[in-house]
């Protein structure tokens, strides 16, 4: 097996989290099999199966498998319950998503690594960008996330699915690549008319001159929904030491990954609007919750949030040295986990 250009890392478990999870995961895997072939891009998908429920089949037994000749390979890495139970909040949080992704990052073989989630499809313009093999190792890449209803028929061909997604966008998350002076999502103004966003973007320029460089940098990072698409070279992931490993619910830790990269001098590239991901909306998705549901959710499964992200982010950006939280063996690099690769190699 040749070294893949791109490793795609995702984490999951077969517990139907978010409702109808299997269906969304099947769409995700089938989409990748089809697109890697269409765009002739050798890719490995590392699916980290964290703390698999004992009463359910493993994901490898129920998700679509690439065949010999496909350009996608899938590696299932199984992190057993015994590891999960090392965490204080193991009973509240069944999947430590970002630690699981670190497991994948440490084992990835690709020159570039995309960390993403299992309920996404990639637009063809986005896949084309990846397949052009023009990614540079001094840059981290972001793509807008477009949420679509959970109404995709798995029987449709991929073109039909993607076409349907492009016509059924509920909301778009992520920065407009044309407006780079200020991330308007931080002000909750990303959905306003373009002229208004343009005006605020221009206004941000003189105000930006007066604030500290780290603050200016912070407010230009494309942070929203970055857990769904953060792409950089393998070396860059190693330099930032992956995602911060915390005994907390995984929300917003993805943002710290971007900030670490920016603090170490990696440049940000946001793909054009058409080169987006489509995220299949679900009931338990953070964006779909009301604020009152969010507080009850966090009371049950605590995590970190933007106030702390801002402080830690400014701290890292000012010192230009990332967030040195993780131990040297982050992602359990010192352990060998059970692994199953597809397509099965002969012999």
Q: Which one, of 75, 106, 103, 117, lies nearest residue 229 by Cα? A: 117
The packing angle between helices 253-263 and 306-319, to 10°, is 20
Beta bridge partners of 139: 267
Q: Please give the Cα distance from 230 to 232 (Å, whole number).
A: 7
Judged by beta carbon, residue 161 or residue 183, the one nearer another protein is 183
Q: Which residue, 62 or 211, is less far from another protein as judged by CB?
A: 211
71 binds another protein (CB under 8 A): no
With binding defined as CB under 8 A, does residue 320 bind another protein? no
Distance of closest approach, residue 237 Cβ to another protein, in angstroms: 20
Q: Binding pattern to another protein, positions 248-277, x when CB under 8 A?
A: x---x-------------------------
Task: Single out the residue of 167, 292, 328, 347 in contact with another protein (rule: CB under 8 A).
Answer: 292
**Min. distance of Cβ 312 from another protein in angstroms?**
4
Interface positions, 104-163, toward another protein (CB under 8 A): none
- Alpha-carbon distances, residue 177 vs 26, 143, 174, 309 (angstroms): 31, 9, 9, 23
Task: Tell me: does residue 302 bind another protein (CB under 8 A).
Answer: yes
Query: Smallest distance, Å, CB 307 to another protein?
Result: 3
Q: Which of 5, 164, 325, 337 binds another protein (CB under 8 A)?
A: 325
Among 69, 265, 291, 347, binds another protein (CB under 8 A): 291
Cis peptide bond upstream of 237, omega within 30: no
Question: Is residue 179 a contact residue for another protein (CB under 8 A)?
Answer: no
Task: Rank residues 249 and 342 by Cβ distance to another protein and give the closer one.
Answer: 249
Q: Where are the alpha helices (DSSP H) in the chain?
A: 21-38, 81-84, 97-107, 124-131, 158-167, 194-210, 213-218, 234-239, 253-263, 291-300, 306-319
Among 42, 310, 337, which Cα is nearest to 183's?
Answer: 310
Neighbours of 158 (CB within 10 A): 17
Minimal distance in Å, beta carbon 196 to another protein? 6
Q: Confirm or reject binding of residue 310 to another protein (CB under 8 A).
A: yes
Binding residues for another protein, total number by CB under 8 A: 42
**Contact map string, positions 205 to 244, toward another protein, x by CB under 8 A:** -xx--xxx--x---x------------------------x
**DSSP-assigned states of every residue in 108-134:** --SSEEEE--TTEEE-HHHHHHHHTT-
Q: Which stretch binds another protein (CB under 8 A): 42-50, 140-148, 273-281, 296-304?
A: 296-304
Judged by CB under 8 A, the residue of 48, 246, 275, 276 near another protein is 246
CB 280 within 8 A of CB 256: no
How far apart are the C-alpha atoms of 149 and 236, rounded to whole Å? 34
Asked if 188 touches another protein (CB under 8 A), the answer is: yes
CB of 14 to another protein, least distance (A): 27
Q: Determine contact, residues 88/316, Cβ cutoff 8 Å.
A: no
Exactly one of 20, 163, 305, 338 binds another protein (CB under 8 A); which one?
305
**Coil, strand or helix at 159:** helix
Region from 74-82, 104-112, 234-242, 291-299 binding another protein, contact rule CB under 8 A: 291-299
Please identify which residue in 1, 62, 170, 196 interacts with another protein, judged by CB under 8 A: 196
From edge to edge, which strands make up the β-sheet containing 139-142? 267-270, 139-142, 230-233, 112-115, 6-12, 43-50, 72-79, 338-342
Closest CA to 190 of 209, 203, 177, 207: 177
Contact call for residues 304 and 252 (beta carbons, < 8 A):
yes
Q: Is residue 328 at the binding interface for another protein, with CB under 8 A as the rule? A: no
Binding site for another protein (CB under 8 A): 187-189, 192, 196, 200, 203, 206-207, 210-212, 215, 219, 244, 246-248, 252, 290-292, 294-296, 298-299, 302-312, 314-315, 323, 325
């Amino acid at each position: 097996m040749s070294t893949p250009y791109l490793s795609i890392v995702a984490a999951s478990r077969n517990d139907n989290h978010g409702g109808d999870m299997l269906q969304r995961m099947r769409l995700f895997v089938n989409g990748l099999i089809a697109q890697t072939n269409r765009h002739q891009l050798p890719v490995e998908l590392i699916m980290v199966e964290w703390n698999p429920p004992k009463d359910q089949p493993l994901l490898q037994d129920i998700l679509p498998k690439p065949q010999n000749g496909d350009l996608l390979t899938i590696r299932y890495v199984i992190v057993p319950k015994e590891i999960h139970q090392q965490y204080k909040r193991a009973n509240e949080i069944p999947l430590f998503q970002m630690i699981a992704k670190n497991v994948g990052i440490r084992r990835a073989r690709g020159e570039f690594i995309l960390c993403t989630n299992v309920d996404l499809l990639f637009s063809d313009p986005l896949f084309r960008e990846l397949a052009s093999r023009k990614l540079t190792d001094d840059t981290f890449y972001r793509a807008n996330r477009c949420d679509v209803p959970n109404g995709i028929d798995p029987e449709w061909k991929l073109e039909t699915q993607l076409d349907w997604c492009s016509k059924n966008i509920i909301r778009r998350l992520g920065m407009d690549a044309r407006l780079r002076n200020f991330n308007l999502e931080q002000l909750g103004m990303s959905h306003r008319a373009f002229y208004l966003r343009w005006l605020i973007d221009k206004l941000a320029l003189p105000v930006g001159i007066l604030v500290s460089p780290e603050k200016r940098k912070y407010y230009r990072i494309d942070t929203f929904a970055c857990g769904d698409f953060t792409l950089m070279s393998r070396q860059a992931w190693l330099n930032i030491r992956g995602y911060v490993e915390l005994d907390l619910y995984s929300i917003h830790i993805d943002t710290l990954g971007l900030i670490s990269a920016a603090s170490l001098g990696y440049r940000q590239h946001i793909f054009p609007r058409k080169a987006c991901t489509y995220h299949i909306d679900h009931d338990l998705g953070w964006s779909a919750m009301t604020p009152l549901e969010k507080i009850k959710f966090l009371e049950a499964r605590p995590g970190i949030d933007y106030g702390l992200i801002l402080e830690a982010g400014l701290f890292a950006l000012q010192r230009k040295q990332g967030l040195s939280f993780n131990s040297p063996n982050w992602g359990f690099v010192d352990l060998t986990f059970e692994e199953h690769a597809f397509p099965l190699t002969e012999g």
